[in-house]
Amino acid sequence: MNAEERGFMAELRGDVLDAGCGYLFHYAYYERGILNGRVNIFHGFDPNGSLGLIGKRIPPRLKNRFILEVNTSEKIKFTRRYDNIILRYVFSHFSEHEKCIKKLHAHLKNNGAIYFIDGAGKENMTAPSAMNARAKYIAEWNLFHARTTVTRNLKVHLDCYRKFLNQQEFKRFEAETLNFYLNEPETKHYSSREIISLFEKNGFRIIRGLEGRAFGENSLQLIIGKK
Ligand SMILES: C[S@@+](CC[C@H](N)C(=O)[O-])C[C@H]1O[C@@H](n2cnc3c(N)ncnc32)[C@H](O)[C@@H]1O
């Protein structure tokens, strides 16, 4: 997590949405925001069914401030508008990117802000040669991901949750999670330019943008508001 991300998380306010929240990587920030009175409601969703078990780590006195839902960005129906939305390494997992962006636009408050980070290349994917190069890269990346990132990062993630779950729950969590990741459909990687233009053509403006490297690949980090 870099300074930009830490800064955004420290300033969370109002109603907060984490789309594709996985295992609540940012849980500590959400809890702190609620305890210091800046965050009203936290809503996190993810298609991975083991999210339900993660709800158990939330202290009972805070349960009514957390809404955790097993769902996808494509299917979910929002009933409120958010002050902050987190899109952390989830954009490339969407299957209908524009539909999801439009939905987020309708449910971000006018003065709200999105924190976005994801892998993104610089090349223009519409050129056939670049598409081929990208396809090869994605195939290699997925192989790498399945063999190393999933198993290694999963262990790190799982170790965090071991203390919150009893042994039987933990085994279910571990099996569901690994199975979910290994069966996830191939992700689509857009270039930075394509990601930015998808947001801009759907009523957003880029407040701040930064290209860098994360997890050994190019990454794009954005703070996004409404036009
Ligand atoms: C790389 S993980 C990132 C998780 C979390 N945002 C974080 O930063 O730790 C990608 C997440 O996207 C979720 N995901 C996959 N398809 C999705 C979809 N269509 N809508 C929302 N989330 C999705 C996966 O279950 C997974 O938890």
Q: What whole-number distance in Å separates Cα of residue 37 and Cα of residue 118?
A: 29
Tens of pLDDT along the chain (227 residues) come to: 788 899 999 999 999 999 999 878 788 899 999 999 999 999 999 998 877 777 877 888 999 999 999 999 999 999 999 999 999 989 988 888 999 999 999 999 999 999 999 877 654 444 344 445 545 554 555 555 555 555 666 676 677 677 777 888 888 877 777 777 666 665 666 888 889 999 999 999 999 888 776 655 678 899 999 99
How far apart are the CA of 186 and the centre of ligand 1, in A? 13
| Phi, psi angle pair for 125, to nearest 5° | -75, -5
Residue 78 has a pLDDT of 97
Ligand 1 contact, 189 CB (< 6 A):
no
Ligand 1 contact, 116 CB (< 6 A):
no
How far apart are the CA of 73 and the centre of ligand 1, in A? 9
Residue 127 has a pLDDT of 38
Residue 118 has a pLDDT of 87
- For 180, half-sphere exposure in the C-beta direction (CA atoms, 13 angstrom radius) is 17
Answer yes or no: are the C-beta atoms of 223 and 115 closer than 8 Å: yes
Residue 164 has a pLDDT of 72
Residue 71 has a pLDDT of 95
Residue 75 has a pLDDT of 96
Domains parsed from the chain with CATH numbers: 3-123+188-226 (3.40.50.150)
How far apart are the CA of 59 and the centre of ligand 1, in A? 24
pLDDT in tens, 64-79: 999 999 999 999 999 9
Ligand 1 contact, 44 CB (< 6 A):
no
Answer yes or no: are the C-beta atoms of 224 and 204 closer than 8 Å: yes
pTM comes to 0.83
Which residue's CA lies nearest to atom 1 of ligand 1? 89
Sequence-distant (6+) residues with CB within 8 A of 30 are 12, 16, 18, 24, 39, 42, 44, 66
Pick the closest to residue 53 from 161, 183, 182, 179 (CA basis).
161
| Phi, psi angle pair for 80, to nearest 5° | -140, 175
Residue 55 has a pLDDT of 80
Answer yes or no: are the C-beta atoms of 27 and 53 closer than 8 Å: no
How far apart are the CA of 68 and the centre of ligand 1, in A? 14
How far apart are the CA of 89 and the centre of ligand 1, in A? 7
What does DSSP assign to residue 39? E
Residue 149 has a pLDDT of 58
Ligand 1 contact, 149 CB (< 6 A):
no
